[in-house]
């Protein structure tokens, strides 16, 4: 069987750490790529016709192997490499399966240690990356050795894994690796969203948040209550102490650059609030005198002050819509340096212990129903 191990070395530093390692935030081509086949390996700087060279190598292979292969596929497909005609195998997925989903996001180095193989060369990391030196500034002969060694060790891990997999597990890894290509295409296409509508909704909901907060605060107009604080909210609902810090004038500075200016000290004032609701049985928190204030606990509260609970639930919902979505999605797009109006969220195959797929940055599996008008179909 003609097996090709493939790896890329890309720019590892960014203007913001948030999009570091994300293939859709950095348009620069890889610094180099490396391959291993049989007992040979090598690495090459990226050049004008690199895509054709890599494609030719892929096309004569029976299997392409990688570690965290979705990242390398994303980088190479962006440059024009086609993976549609060859099966792939991700050693990271295989390691996740071998561990029975207990080893989340396994690394190449940990896998090498597990199978008693020589570990990765660490000189590039310790002498360059940790000093803020990017891959394109690492001496080529050193980077070349590092990259080629990575490809060779990825191939070694592939062969070391096979005896630890049952026939059914091998079939599972093959299927997951094919899924990887589909997920990569989904990530690459991304989601188109209406940023202007997000800003409009953010403003509308922020206004409503201000009104609800003012209404709740009017319950005790002279006491500063932070409704986003579990301690304050527990005291507000179930009775307890709200602390307020005030400045107390204690005289004047007698010397120094502030001579003659008023001098203050912080004084803590405690406000004892009455109980509006009986806490739900079993809702005590570890911190003495406090009780749960989450959505589930709030929905169980009854009595004449029920409208307060309804306002709190509405406030919580609106703050999540604004923070996570209407403000959060455009901010994520900006932080990750993605093209305007598009989100390239991640689909994770090696995270959930159940083996199910998960999603992050943003979580595309759990969008609020209110966001349906924010996302735009490209196929109208």
Kindly report, residue by residue over 101-120, the tens digit of the pLDDT: 999 999 999 999 999 999 99
**SS3 of residue 98 by DSSP:** helix
| Mode of pairing for the β-strands spanning 358-360 and 240-252 | unpaired
Pairwise CA distance, residues 309 & 312, whole Å: 5
Question: How sure is the predictor about 17, in pLDDT bands with cuts at 50, 70 and 90?
Answer: low
**SS3 of residue 103 by DSSP:** coil
Arithmetic mean of pLDDT, 2-9: 97
User: How many helices (DSSP H) and strands (DSSP E) are in the chain?
Assistant: 12, 11
Q: Average per-residue pLDDT in the chain?
A: 94
Please enumerate in sequence order all residues whose Cβ is within 8 A of that of 102, keeping only pairs 6 or more positions apart, or say none.
353
Q: 3-189: CATH homologous superfamily?
A: Ribonuclease H-like superfamily/Ribonuclease H (3.30.420.10)
Query: Domain residue spans in the chain?
Result: 3-189, 192-221+293-380
Arithmetic mean of pLDDT, 218-247: 95
Query: Any long-range contacts for 286-293 (C-beta under 8 Å, 24+ apart)?
Result: 287/231, 289/234, 289/240, 290/230, 290/231, 290/234, 290/235, 290/240, 291/234, 291/237, 291/238, 292/234, 293/230, 293/233, 293/234, 293/237
Question: How sure is the predictor about 380, in pLDDT bands with cuts at 50, 70 and 90?
Answer: low
Say which range, 26-30, 235-239, 294-298, has the weakest mean pLDDT: 26-30
Pairwise CA distance, residues 92 & 147, whole Å: 18
* Greater model confidence, 21 or 308: 308
Say which range, 138-152, 172-186, 351-365, has the weakest mean pLDDT: 351-365
Q: What is the pTM of this model?
A: 0.86
A 10 A CB-CB count for 196 gives 10
Rounded to a whole number of angstroms, the distance between the first and last alpha carbons of the chain is 45
Report yes or no: 261 and 269 within 8 Å, Cβ to Cβ. no
Question: How sure is the predictor about 144, in pLDDT bands with cuts at 50, 70 and 90?
Answer: very high
Q: Specify the pLDDT at position 15.
A: 60
Pairwise CA distance, residues 53 & 187, whole Å: 26
**At residue 241, what are phi and psi to the nearest 5 degrees?**
-105, 130
DSSP state of 159: H
**SS3 of residue 126 by DSSP:** helix
Q: Specify the pLDDT at position 12.
A: 85
Share of the chain above pLDDT 90, in %: 91
A 10 A CB-CB count for 361 gives 16
């Amino acid at each position: 069987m003609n097996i090709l191990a493939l790896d890329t070395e890309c720019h590892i530093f960014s203007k913001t750490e948030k999009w570091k390692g994300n293939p859709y935030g950095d348009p620069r081509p890889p610094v180099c790529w490396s391959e291993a086949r049989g007992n040979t390996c090598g690495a090459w700087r990226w050049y004008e016709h690199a895509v054709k060279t890599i494609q030719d190598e892929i096309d004569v292979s029976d299997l392409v192997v990688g570690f965290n292969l979705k990242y390398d596929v994303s980088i190479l497909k962006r440059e024009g490499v086609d993976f549609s005609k060859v099966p792939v195998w991700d050693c990271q997925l295989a390691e996740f399966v071998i561990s029975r989903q207990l080893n989340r996001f396994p690394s190449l180095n940990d896998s090498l240690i597990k199978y008693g193989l020589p570990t990765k060369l660490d000189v590039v990391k310790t002498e360059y990356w940790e000093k803020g030196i990017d891959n394109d500034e690492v001496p080529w002969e050193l980077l070349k050795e590092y990259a080629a060694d990575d490809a060779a060790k990825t191939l070694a891990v592939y062969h070391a894994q096979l005896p630890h997999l049952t026939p059914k597990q091998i079939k599972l890894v093959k299927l997951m690796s094919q899924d990887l290509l589909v997920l990569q295409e989904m990530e690459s296409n991304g989601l188109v969203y209406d940023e202007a509508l997000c800003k409009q909704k953010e403003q509308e909901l922020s206004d409503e948040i201000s009104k609800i907060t003012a209404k709740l605060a009017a319950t005790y107009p002279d006491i500063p209550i932070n409704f986003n604080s579990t301690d304050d909210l527990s005291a507000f609902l179930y009775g307890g102490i709200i602390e307020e810090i005030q400045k107390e004038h204690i005289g004047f500075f007698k010397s120094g650059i502030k001579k003659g200016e008023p001098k203050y000290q912080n004084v803590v004032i405690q406000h004892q609030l009455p109980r509006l609701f009986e806490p739900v049985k079993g809702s005590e928190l570890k911190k003495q005198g406090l009780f749960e204030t989450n959505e589930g606990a709030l929905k169980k509260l009854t009595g004449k002050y029920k409208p307060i609970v309804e306002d709190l639930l509405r406030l919580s919902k609106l703050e999540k819509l604004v923070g996570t979505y209407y403000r959060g999605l455009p901010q994520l797009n900006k932080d990750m340096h993605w093209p305007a109006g598009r989100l390239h969220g991640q689909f994770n195959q090696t995270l959930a212990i159940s083996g199910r797929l998960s999603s992050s940055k943003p979580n595309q599996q759990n969008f609020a129903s209110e966001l349906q008008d924010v996302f735009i179909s490209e196929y109208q």
